[in-house]
Amino acid sequence: MPKKKYIIDLSADEREQLSQLVRRGKHSSRKVTRARILLLAADGSTDEQIVAALGCGINTVERTRRRFVEAGLACLNERPRRGQARKLTGTQEAHLIAVACSTPPTGRARWTLSLLADKVVELKFASSITRETVRQVLKKTNSSRG
User: Domain limits of the chain?
Assistant: 12-76, 90-139
Instruction: Give the model's confidence band at 1: pLDDT under 50 very low, under 70 low, under 90 confident, else very high.
Output: low
Reported as a single tens digit per residue, the pLDDT across 93-123 is 999 999 999 999 999 999 999 999 999 999 9
Reported as a single tens digit per residue, the pLDDT across 70-100 is 999 999 998 888 888 888 888 989 999 999 9
pLDDT at 21 over 70: yes
Instruction: Kindly state the DSSP code that residue 124 receives in the 8-state scheme.
Output: T
Answer positive or negative: Cα dihedral of 65, 71, 77, 79. Answer: negative
The pTM of the full predicted model, rounded to 2 decimals, is: 0.60
Instruction: Give the model's confidence band at 125: pLDDT under 50 very low, under 70 low, under 90 confident, else very high.
Output: confident
Q: What percent of the chain shows pLDDT beyond 90?
A: 68
CA distance 62 to 121: 48
For 117: left if phi > 0, alpha if psi spans -120 to 50, otherwise beta; the answer is alpha
Sequence letter at residue 136: Q
